[in-house]
Amino acid sequence: IVPVAGLCPQGAYGVQDSLRGGFSSVKNELLPSHPLELSEKNFHLNQDKMNLSTLRNIQGLHAPLKLQMEYRAARQIQRLPFLQSSHLALDTLRGSDDVIGFEDILSDPAQSEMMGEPHLMVEYKLGLL
């Protein structure tokens, strides 16, 4: 069981945020609870990185830059953070609008039983927290 760096505490300055995150222990923060946890958390990120770097090698720098600009623009078209947005533009750009995976079937956020606190989530998104 190897301690990994990807599970660092999420608060400001890398210190645990006891008020919002609850108590934490070194064991919880440093050791992953499942070998797949980290690789699944970063899966889409890593896949995008790989695809964009291949694209850069084949077609030059401008191609991935333009694509990333489009992704960023599409990612901004969303409802307020505590509501469900369909991510339709983002899915169409990515090509994941005609692919079904476990993220569409298991723990669909549209059907989660807990709702985020609206004020807190908007403050977190705007960076006011």
Partner 1 sequence: MATLTVSRAPLSGFSFDNCKRNALLEGEANKVGSNLPAARKTGTTICGLVYKDGVILGADTRATEGMVVADKNCSKIHYISPNIYCCGAGTAADTEMTTQIISSNLELHSLSTGRLPRVATANRMLKQMLFRYQGYIGAALVLGGVDCNGPHLYSIYPHGSTDKLPYVTMGSGSLAAMAVFEDRYKPDMEEDEAKRMVRDAIAAGIFNDLGSGSNIDLCVITKGKVDYIRPHDEANQKGVRTGDYKYKRGTTSVLTKMVTPLSLEVVEESIQTMDTS
Half-sphere exposure of 37 (CA within 13 A, CB side): 13
If the CB atoms of residues 93 and 121 are measured against partner 1, the closer one turns out to be: 121
**Residues from 13 through 42 that contact partner 1 (CB under 8 A):** 20, 28, 32-37, 39-41
Retrieve residue 5's tokens. 């760096």
Of the candidates 126, 124, 121, 92, which has an alpha carbon nearest to the alpha carbon of residue 109? 121
If the CB atoms of residues 67 and 121 are measured against partner 1, the closer one turns out to be: 121
Task: Return residues touching partner 1 (CB under 8 A).
Answer: 20, 28, 32-37, 39-41, 43, 81-82, 98-109, 112-117, 120-121, 124, 129
